[in-house]
Amino acid sequence: MTPIDDNRWTADIHPGWTILGNPNGGYLQATMVNAASDLVAGEHPHPVAVSTHFLRAPRPGTVELEAELLRAGRTTTQVRCRMSQGGKVTGETTVTFGSLAPAADLGQSGTWNSAGLPPAPHPVEGCATYPAAGEQPPVEIYRHVGLRPEPGQPMFTTGEGRGVGVARA
């Protein structure tokens, strides 16, 4: 991001993070959250709640970001960020920032889970890579990320699912 003034920036949307020519929503959301966090300094550095509305897909290239401080309180700060391209708003994100204390400060283990752990996945080495090595990726974003479906589990191509979503880094 390149600052224009205290609450406006430009950013470049890279074509490599697109699906059928449209930038990935998480990529766009992260760009807006980064701009919003530049507006917030000090006491509330952590985004704790994010809500994004996409109005139209920007094209790869330059976008403008404008952040507005909605409220700065004792425990949280709220910021709205708009992304626009060619004079048209493409998306808007509202972020609530807070301060997440280290678990040691709370006298807890550092782990919070309300529903138990997801099923243990297969080791990543035993999972096929999609797209396979040497295959042309079906969409640009797969040049940067890959899918490794669990052995024996249907993928999105079959129209079936197992009813749970699990994401691993």
pLDDT in tens, 17-55: 999 889 999 999 999 999 999 998 778 999 999 999 999
- Distance CA(146)–CA(92), nearest Å, equals 28
pTM, full prediction? 0.75
The residue that leads in pLDDT, 154 or 99, is 99
85-136: pLDDT as tens digits: 999 999 999 999 998 876 545 455 555 555 666 667 778 887 878 777 788 8
- Report CA Rg, the chain: 20
Where do the domains of the chain lie, and which CATH numbers do they carry?
2-100 (2.40.160.210), 122-158 (no CATH)
Q: Which residues contact 108 (CB under 8 A, 6 or more apart)?
A: none
SS3 state at 86: coil
Tens-digit pLDDT profile for residues 54-76: 999 999 999 999 999 999 999 99
pLDDT at 127: 80
